[in-house]
């Protein structure tokens, strides 16, 4: 394209537009990505600046390595899978009361000594819920009107107080550090939400926000897709991007400097998540493993959940997505236990040692293998089919020398909020009912009574996390009292 300047006589003179920066163009050619400058001559000076800055912010050698390694790994056969050995799993029915109490105390002690942190994966927007806000801001319709973020913050407040009482012998409350991973789409809104709600009673200093990375979207031949003539299409690098993000934001060093040894990691969209569960932490410490995961039994063979497997004979535990599991294996039953052979569902509730997080952050970065998700990508040619590159939180498990699985009861700890009301499952309505039913059982067990004007299966009571973490200490509030459902029970 040419740009017009004016001669002194008023006639326009055509001058050639500036060419793309030569050094940058040569670097792009090295990686076969020079097409990003295809529309250079049609851009305004400001748009040219934006394009150059956009390209300069991409770590080309790293992204090229990721694209090549990920494309190459697609065709490789995966190792054969075996069921998870029974010795790796703590099942609900095998757990004794003595073990539960021992683990609870061990977990509380580690918390009171400041050795424990919580890591929240919160990069997603509530788009599927009909909201452009961060998913954690979503109100699932409980009597209190609390958002997912507030419920989780109050569980941390509760467990801090319990840890001080249980294990700290009057030394006061030790704040649990809460690291919250956002994305470029949710970061500012998440920070503002916490600030405007005064961190829901937590100290601002114990909450740290950091962003997951983004990766250019690519065509089927590995070239960058242009979202606009002056911007490369990018997408978040998946919840497994947390490992790289922790490394590049130097938060692993921050954790180390604080004396943190154990990190509880979970996804934001679970209304029943037991954030900072001392029993799970104590189990993790007692087992001496590098990584652990809470699991629930598959509800039925065809349930669309990823399951834990062993990769290869004597190999590491890994997660296989439901779409990758052979239908005959889905239905296979272990004759000794009566359970499905592949029954342990991954529900994104994990515990890691800090040493392991360091190892994974370096290992995943070196291997550079991402999952290719084929999607319609908004581009200058309309929506075009291409790939988003993502890592998943469970990609870490093959790096661990030792993993333990901890079965939990689905109705007590897993109420996913993924789809808008009206869908068949995992909606705000279904999650709300799971919370109300569990808390109703707590209240009745503590000697309380309920009245209700709608059928009990459609209602219940909500217990504030500030009153009780998992149903404990409710007798003084509930015994002999009658509550009219739906309502919130708080101090």
Mean pLDDT for each 10-residue chunk of the chain (491 residues)? 43 55 95 96 95 96 95 80 92 96 96 97 86 93 97 97 79 92 94 98 98 95 96 93 95 97 97 98 97 95 91 88 86 91 95 96 88 93 94 90 94 95 92 97 97 92 97 96 96 77
Both structure tokens of 256: 């180390």
Identify the residue whose tokens are 């539960």: 100
Q: Is residue 4 part of a domain?
A: no
Q: What are the start-end ranges of the E strands in 145-217?
A: 177-182, 207-211, 214-216
Domain housing 473: 427-490
Q: How far apart are the C-alpha atoms of 291 and 262, rounded to whole Å?
A: 10
Q: Is residue 29 part of a domain?
A: no
- What is the number of structural domains in the chain? 2
Q: How far apart are the C-alpha atoms of 387 and 224, rounded to whole Å?
A: 10
Q: What is the DSSP string of 425-446?
A: SS-HHHHHHHHHHHHHHHHHHT
**Cβ(138)–Cβ(126) below 8 Å:** yes
Confidence (pLDDT) at 3: 43
Residues 225 and 305 in one domain: yes
371-420 tens-digit pLDDT: 999 999 999 999 999 999 999 999 999 888 899 999 999 999 999 999 99
* CATH at 451: 2.10.10
Q: Is residue 220 part of a domain?
A: yes
Q: Is the pTM of this model over 0.75?
A: yes
Q: Are strands 81-82 and 382-390 parallel, antiparallel or unpaired?
A: unpaired
Residues 410 and 467 in one domain: no
Please identify, among 389, 408, 426, the residue that sits at the C-terminal boundary of a domain: 426
Q: Is residue 41 part of a domain?
A: no
Q: How far apart are the C-alpha atoms of 367 and 468, rounded to whole Å?
A: 44
Q: Is residue 276 part of a domain?
A: yes
Percentage with pLDDT > 70 across the chain: 96
The sign of the dihedral angle between the CA atoms of 303, 305, 311, 316 is negative
Q: How far apart are the C-alpha atoms of 97 and 214, rounded to whole Å?
A: 46
Residues 222 and 357 in one domain: yes
């Amino acid at each position: 394209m040419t740009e017009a300047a004016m001669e002194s006589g008023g006639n326009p003179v055509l001058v050639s537009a500036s060419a793309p920066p030569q050094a940058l163009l040569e670097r792009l050619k090295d990686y076969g990505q020079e097409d990003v400058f295809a529309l250079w001559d049609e851009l305004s000076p400001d748009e040219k600046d934006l394009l150059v800055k956009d390209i300069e912010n991409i770590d080309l050698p790293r992204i090229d390595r990721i694209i090549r390694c990920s494309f190459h790994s697609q065709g490789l056969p995966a190792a054969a899978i075996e069921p998870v050995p029974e010795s790796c799993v703590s099942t609900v029915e095998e757990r004794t009361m003595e073990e539960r109490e021992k683990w609870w105390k061990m977990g509380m002690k580690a918390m009171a000594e400041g050795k424990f942190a919580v890591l929240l994966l919160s990069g997603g927007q509530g788009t599927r819920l009909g909201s452009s806000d961060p998913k954690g801001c979503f109100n699932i319709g409980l009597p209190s009107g609390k958002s997912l973020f507030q419920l989780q913050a109050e569980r941390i407040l509760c467990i801090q107080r319990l840890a001080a009482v249980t294990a700290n012998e009057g030394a006061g409350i030790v704040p649990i550090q809460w690291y919250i991973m956002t994305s470029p789409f949710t970061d500012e809104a998440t920070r503002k939400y916490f600030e405007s709600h005064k961190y829901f009673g937590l100290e601002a200093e114990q909450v740290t926000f950091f962003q997951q990375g983004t990766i250019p979207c690519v065509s089927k031949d590995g070239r960058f897709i242009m979202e606009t003539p002056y911007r490369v299409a990018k997408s978040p690098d998946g919840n497994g991007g947390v490992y790289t993000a922790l490394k590049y934001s130097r938060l692993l060093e921050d954790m180390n400097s604080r004396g943190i040894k154990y990190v509880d990691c979970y996804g934001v969209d679970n209304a029943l998540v037991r954030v900072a569960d001392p029993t799970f932490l104590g189990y993790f410490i007692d087992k001496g493993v590098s990584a652990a995961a809470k699991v629930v039994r598959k509800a039925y063979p065809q349930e669309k959940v990823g399951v834990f497997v062993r990769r290869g004979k004597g190999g590491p535990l890994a997660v296989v997505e439901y779409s990758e599991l052979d239908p005959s294996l889905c239905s296979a039953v272990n004759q000794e236990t009566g359970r499905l052979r592949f029954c342990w569902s991954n529900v994104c509730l994990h515990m890691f040692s800090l040493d392991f997080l360091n190892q994974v952050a370096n290992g995943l970065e070196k291997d550079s293998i991402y999952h290719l998700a084929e999607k319609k990508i908004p581009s200058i040619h309309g929506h075009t089919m291409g790939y988003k590159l993502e890592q998943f939180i469970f990609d870490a498990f093959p790096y661990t020398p030792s993993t333990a699985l901890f079965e939990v009861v689905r109705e007590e700890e897993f109420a996913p909020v993924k789809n808008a009301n009206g869908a068949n499952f995992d909606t705000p309505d279904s999650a709300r009912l799971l919370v109300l039913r569990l808390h109703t059982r707590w209240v009745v067990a503590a000697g309380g009574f309920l009245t209700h004007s709608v059928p009990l299966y459609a209602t219940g009571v909500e217990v504030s996390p500030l009153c009780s973490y998992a149903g404990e200490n409710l007798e003084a509030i509930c015994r002999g009292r009658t509550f009219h459902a739906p309502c919130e029970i708080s101090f």
